[in-house]
Structure 1
């Protein structure tokens, strides 16, 4: 375990500390970087709490190191993953520093959930070693990582990234074309676009849409992907259904008014008490607890299998 490659995580917030825990659990030395010392100290405790939650042993020892500056944290790293704000200019500034201060053999990955890797890497030194590594929230509970190949990312960089992530227990997939949103978010938000459109058209209320997903086809999504399901029921049936419904599906190229108006009036969801649905603090906590317990159970099941 002592010979595991050193990993540096840039950003200790929502995603960063969970990503760091994944590598620590596999025995990697991890440098965790954040300009805010308070955030770093919170992350250290959050990482310990994750080990407790998953009932995994954790003796930090010398594995975890905390830094407020990038340069000393990346000079001896073999793999760096950026988990900073989802703002292109911020990410480009980080990668400009990473390219200057890291070893020429170090892989530089971004956890961006939607920004094309080629846009982040444009004009940055050594773009062949810049790759996407999109973890899902929370990264310590959700196994999937989308490894995104930018226009100039080398095949070797992709292969080494997938091998490293698979070795720490992740499920890596190769995104061969660098498109906004990659695979998962495009699928997820395509469904969300249709859901908002049906709500806006008065087909049903928000709770009904959520119930249809949770108690209907959502129950099989964890074990049956959409193309797998199409093959299961037959492509002839799939074709007949799509021929009927495609002409009436929403094709909006911008977010619908039902979403924009809520944001503009401060109806932001659970954190404000109302969004598409109304939320008391107790109801919001119940949802968070339900999701967390489900994901923890799945994570423990994966660990023991």
Structure 2
């Protein structure tokens, strides 16, 4: 799959698009980017430069260079010579429909149009295209230049071949793609996150815990295990020799009682202020600008460590 792809179109160069662009460059591709916003090119190149040191630490492909990035605010020029498109435009259905209609008209039918959309369904987006079979969701996890996960989802008219080619492409460039077999709002990872956020917000709102307490509970508790294995394998290990069945036989009823007691908060202005104040308190005495670089350095080490073992799935 990758042998046929040398130039990738990155359409939309905000936070996600710029991160994708940096990653594709680091994997040795030419990248042709497009974004109509004023100053987009300068901001994109600056972002790629900022991401490059951590990408170098994680390992560059042969020939990788930020100089292989070209930019145009004209969609037709940007798509010239492109073999795969990663779209990361605004999460607005009207804009997405118009953009995919235009890209579909400009590109050969065998060029895959993958969207980074976190919420829109490809069955809706592909309806604007003459070749809907090549439209697929390739939803990354932020930041895409570091996190391996990509959720691949076809719409109602997406061909099986497109899904298979997209999965193969992402896997070949170092990603960990999963095939989401049914379209649901938020896909998989964001729905799982949302479930945790809902209870986290509820616990703060009800005065059970502070923002810092909740973050500590996850970051120094189950979050450490989740970074290594997913929830089902962690449950399996919790069951000892009997595995997940033994664990559920003994703790299934308590888990169900916790589910029944989970909160359903509304994100009111009062709750927004409460959470914002909690974050400010948690960051007291710390430079918030250093959080992302510190996170990225630890992420790089964790990803390298996980890649170095065949003991974990």
- With the length of structure 2 as denominator, give the TM-score of the two structures: 0.84
How far does residue 262 in structure 1 lie from its aligned partner after superposition?
4.3
- Gaps in structure 1 of 5+ consecutive residues: none
Q: Distance in 2 between matches of 1:2 and 1:37?
A: 35
The question of whether the paired residues in 2 share the 8 Å contact of 1:9 and 1:16 is answered with yes
How far does residue 148 in structure 1 lie from its aligned partner after superposition?
1.3
Q: Distance in 1 between matches of 2:120 and 2:210?
A: 32
Q: Match for residue 18 of structure 1? A: 19
How far does residue 195 in structure 1 lie from its aligned partner after superposition?
1.1
Of 289, 293, 296 in structure 2, the residue corresponding to residue 285 of structure 1 is 289
Q: Distance in 1 between matches of 2:271 and 2:256?
A: 35
- Structure whose residues are more often helix by fraction: 2
Q: Distance in 2 between matches of 1:239 and 1:285?
A: 42
Structure 2 residue 252 is the aligned partner of structure 1 residue 248: no
Quick one: structure 1 residues 303 and 45, their matched pair in 2 at CA, closer, same or farther if it must change by over 3 Å?
farther
Compute the RMSD of aligned alpha carbons: 2.6
Q: Distance in 2 between matches of 1:230 and 1:2?
A: 40
The question of whether the paired residues in 1 share the 8 Å contact of 2:100 and 2:128 is answered with no
Choose 45-54 or 294-303, whichever is displaced more.
294-303
How many residue pairs match? The answer is: 295
How far does residue 193 in structure 1 lie from its aligned partner after superposition?
0.4
The question of whether the paired residues in 2 share the 8 Å contact of 1:80 and 1:107 is answered with yes
Q: Distance in 1 between matches of 2:30 and 2:141?
A: 22
Q: Deviations over 1:80-126 (max 9, x none)?
A: 11111122222112111111111111110110112222222233322
How far does residue 2 in structure 1 lie from its aligned partner after superposition?
8.5
SS at match of 2:109: coil
Q: Distance in 2 between matches of 1:104 and 1:3?
A: 14
The question of whether the paired residues in 1 share the 8 Å contact of 2:211 and 2:278 is answered with no
| Structure 1 residues 204-223: aligned runs within 5 Å | 204-223=209-228
| Structure 1 residues 46-195: aligned runs within 5 Å | 46-55=47-56, 56=59, 60=65, 63-195=68-200
Q: Deviations over 1:18-58 (max 9, x none)?
A: 21122222222211111135221221232233223332566
Q: Deviations over 1:243-275 (max 9, x none)?
A: 32222122x3xxx34x3214876x784xxxx36
- With the length of structure 1 as denominator, give the TM-score of the two structures: 0.86
The question of whether the paired residues in 2 share the 8 Å contact of 1:67 and 1:73 is answered with yes
SS at match of 2:29: coil
The question of whether the paired residues in 1 share the 8 Å contact of 2:48 and 2:66 is answered with no
Q: Distance in 2 between matches of 1:137 and 1:147?
A: 15
Choose 15-24 or 33-42, whichever is displaced more.
33-42
Q: Distance in 1 between matches of 2:126 and 2:187?
A: 16
